[in-house]
Amino acid sequence: MLTYQRYLISEDEVLEKVAREADFIRDRLKSSLSYSLSATKTLAFIVAEYGVPTDFKSMAKEIVESNKYIDALELTSGGTITHIYPLEGNESAIGYNILKDSATSKEALRAMKSKELFFAGPLDLKQGGIAVVGRLPIYKDENFMGFSVVLIKLSTLLKAAGIDSLQNRNFTYQLSKVNPITQKEEFFLPVSMAIKSRHVVSIEVPDGEWKLYVIANDRTSALFNVFGFAILGFGLSVTAGLFAWSLVRQPAKLNELVQEKTQQLVAEKNLSEYIINALPGVFYLYDRSGRFIKWNKNFETVSGYSAEEMKKLHPLSLFQGEEKNLVKQRIDQVFETGKSDVTAHFYTKDRQKIPYYFNGRRVSYNGFEYLIGMGIDISDRMAVENKLRERTDEIQRLTAHLEKAQEEERTRIAREIHDELGQQLTGLKMDASWIAKNLSVSEKPVQQKIITMMSLIDDTVKTVRRISSELRPGILDDLGLLPALEWQSQEFEKRTGIKTTFHAGVEDFNPERNLSTNIFRVYQETLTNIARHSKATEVEANISAHHDYIVLEVKDNGQGMDTDATNKNTLGLIGMRERALLFQGELTIQSEKQKGTVIRLKVPR
């Protein structure tokens, strides 16, 4: 009975030793894989917030060289690999779409679904070799952008776990995974092991859904315990020795694990420092109270404040006036909604004023909330915008001058045509009429010819009046805007046959001459476009005056139009918009295919 109990104790001790070894190997695996999590999250953050870095090669080189358990770094656009470091030897992977390959898509889609880093493989790489592939999906505003990817060769992974020799004096190891396509367990190490043996311990490695098997090589068969108390005593002494050896070994393993973690923390710290200081703008991280926790060297350089001064500085002390209140509102918005941005002038220590674009995101760490973000100097952009604005103002002033001169010239020509040419034609008709009356009956053919001439003169008078009205309707100057718009509606209906209804939602409304002219011209151009392009049968126009603005709305029942294409290519609409801008107004167009178009002009009174 005692011998059998000794046998069971020996068996349990072997299993306990194997379990400790499996736990130790799993911890080393997870520790080495945590390097990948840090690297992929750092790269994913930069891509999501600021786009693919132009210096990807140098940044990726720094990441790879500071993490001894990473062999390569990749970026994908969607599922297609676009960047890889080192490129040498990996060229064939560029352009490969992992989402279109059944061998890789399932685990890639799983990473997208979880939005967490997931390790696929070991896989046969497109560029050759076998590696574990860690993919972290990159999302911005819930939109999938691609993957931040690490490649870890199988040999590197085994070395990180301390099982690169596959078998040592005490243990044998095996690593397996269920194939996501075949659903069968695959083994990756070239050793044979009776995995169903009582002496095998298996542990799940959740980062990649692997299973680690460990078996003891030096287990002593419990059957020898049946040979008596002498051998039992020897067995007990051996067990005690093994136990003591295990106790002695544990501190060394613990120390090794501590060194591993320390190296990881140092590498991550160096990497984050490098990336933060390599950013093109100013980087900042501060808490709700406004205490700076982290910033980059560029912040000190731009602001002129030292590191010690930065610790005592409040973010709002870098702004002045109304912009200070605006920045405070946006900071509060970050902590309330999660993100915000603002454009404001950044004041340096020597009170230099620099325009900056700032963004912020809320992050949580150890139960506390912080604001993290970047600021970009937009001095060059602001200078270009100011020049462009000045140029635009000059063009608008020139346009207004030309429009005014054109209207004055139209008014002069219309008046001369109407008065002088009209009077001359009237006089000519009177002379012809006198000649016709004074001809004798025998001169009937001549009389008939003169009557034809008088009819032609009548038509010419009508043409002169029409041309005069189109150049500058006299009714606009004599009676005002509303009668002119109503007259234009009637003339349009006569000329085109399109039923036109005009409503005036205001009485005794007569704005100053230039504004009236521009509103009339916009209406005139709108009707011209309807006649040419809309195939409408009805037009409804309405003008209304509000407290501080005037609205002219023209609606047709035509075929509609593509507003994007029309806005770019139609000079008539461009001219109408320019007329609106001359009076700080706006022109909007709403249209649906086969449902007509609405053009709305809104200008200040």
Residue 71 CB partners (closer than 8 Å, separation 6+) = 64, 131, 151, 152, 153, 156
In a domain, 256, yes or no: no
Q: Comparing C-alpha atoms, which of 53, 559, 443 is closest to residue 280? A: 53
- Is 138 found in the same domain as 217? yes
Q: In what order do the strands lie in the sheet containing 353-365?
A: 292-295, 282-287, 368-377, 353-365, 339-347
Residue 167 CB partners (closer than 8 Å, separation 6+) = 173, 191, 217
What pLDDT is stored for residue 328 in this prediction?
92
The domain tally of the chain equals: 4
% of the chain with per-residue pLDDT over 90: 5
How far is Cα 181 from Cα 184, in angstroms, rounded to an integer?
8
CATH of the domain at 348: 3.30.450.20
- Is 388 found in the same domain as 325? no
- Mean of the per-residue pLDDT values for the chain? 76
Per-residue pLDDT at 209 exceeds 70 = no
How far is Cα 452 from Cα 253, in angstroms, rounded to an integer?
121
Residue type, 141: D
DSSP assignment, residue 399? H
CA distance to 44, 64, 121, 150, 526, per residue, from 95 (Å): 19, 21, 20, 17, 51
- Is 130 found in the same domain as 94? yes
- Is 568 found in the same domain as 453? no
Q: Report, in this order, helix, strand and coil percent for the chain, each rounded to 5.
A: 55, 25, 20
What pLDDT is stored for residue 229 in this prediction?
40
What pLDDT is stored for residue 192 in this prediction?
63
CATH of the domain at 582: 3.30.565.10
How far is Cα 163 from Cα 572, in angstroms, rounded to an integer?
77
In a domain, 255, yes or no: no
How far is Cα 286 from Cα 270, in angstroms, rounded to an integer?
20
- Is 201 found in the same domain as 52? yes
HSE (side-chain half, CA atoms, 13 Å) at 316 = 16
Q: Comparing C-alpha atoms, which of 107, 114, 138, 131 is closest to residue 41? A: 138
Q: Give the residues across from 322 on adjacent strands.
A: none
In a domain, 461, yes or no: yes
- Is 394 found in the same domain as 327? no
- Is 456 found in the same domain as 536? no
How far is Cα 500 from Cα 526, in angstroms, rounded to an integer?
12
Q: How many other CB atoms are found less than 10 A from the CB of residue 463? A: 12
The helices-and-strands tally (H runs, E runs) of the chain is 16, 19
In a domain, 260, yes or no: no
Query: Higher confidence at residue 344 or residue 197?
Result: 344
Q: How many other CB atoms are found less than 10 A from the CB of residue 75? A: 23
What pLDDT is stored for residue 358 in this prediction?
92
Helix, strand, or coil here: 127?
coil
Query: Which of the four pLDDT bands, split at 50, 70 and 90, describes residue 327?
Result: very high
Q: Give the residues across from 106 on adjacent strands.
A: none
- Is 557 found in the same domain as 504? yes
- Choosing from 245, 264, 296, the residue where a domain stops is 245
Q: Which two tokens stand for residue 316?
A: 């709002």
pLDDT winner (highest mean) among 150-154, 171-175, 221-225: 150-154
Lowest mean pLDDT among 15-29, 156-170, 193-207, 484-498: 193-207
- Is 150 found in the same domain as 135? yes
Q: What is the pLDDT of residues 84-135, one digit of tens each?
A: 888 888 888 888 888 888 878 888 888 888 888 888 877 778 778 888 888 8
How far is Cα 499 from Cα 365, in angstroms, rounded to an integer?
69
Handedness of CA 425, 426, 430, 433 (dihedral sign): positive
Q: What is the pLDDT of residues 259-305, one digit of tens each?
A: 555 555 455 555 556 666 666 788 888 998 889 888 888 888 888 99
Q: What is the pLDDT of residues 220-257, one digit of tens each?
A: 444 444 344 444 454 555 555 555 545 445 555 555 55
What pLDDT is stored for residue 431 in this prediction?
78
Q: Which two tokens stand for residue 222?
A: 């419990």
Residue type, 237: S
- Is 582 found in the same domain as 490? yes
- Choosing from 333, 356, 377, the residue where a domain stops is 377
Q: Give the residues across from 405 on adjacent strands.
A: none
Q: How many other CB atoms are found less than 10 A from the CB of residue 92? A: 12
In a domain, 266, yes or no: no
How far is Cα 404 from Cα 443, in angstroms, rounded to an integer?
54
- Is 461 found in the same domain as 401? yes
CB 220 within 8 A of CB 214: no
What pLDDT is stored for residue 508 in this prediction?
66
How far is Cα 285 from Cα 365, in angstroms, rounded to an integer?
12
The CA-based angle 407-577-563, given to 5 degrees, is: 140
In a domain, 271, yes or no: no
How far is Cα 149 from Cα 130, in angstroms, rounded to an integer?
15
In a domain, 221, yes or no: yes
Instruction: State if pTM tops 0.95.
Output: no
Range of the domain at 313: 279-377
DSSP assignment, residue 548? S
- Choosing from 377, 402, 435, the residue where a domain stops is 377
Q: Comparing C-alpha atoms, which of 543, 538, 533, 552 is closest to residue 602? A: 552
Reduce the secondary structure of 265-294 to three states and give it as a string: HHHHHHHHHHHHHHCCCEEEEEECCCCEEE
Q: What is the pLDDT of residues 436-494, one digit of tens each?
A: 777 776 677 887 888 888 888 878 877 777 776 666 666 777 778 888 888 889 888 88
CA torsion, ordered 475, 478, 479, 482, to nearest 10 deg: 50
In a domain, 264, yes or no: no
- Is 98 found in the same domain as 227? yes
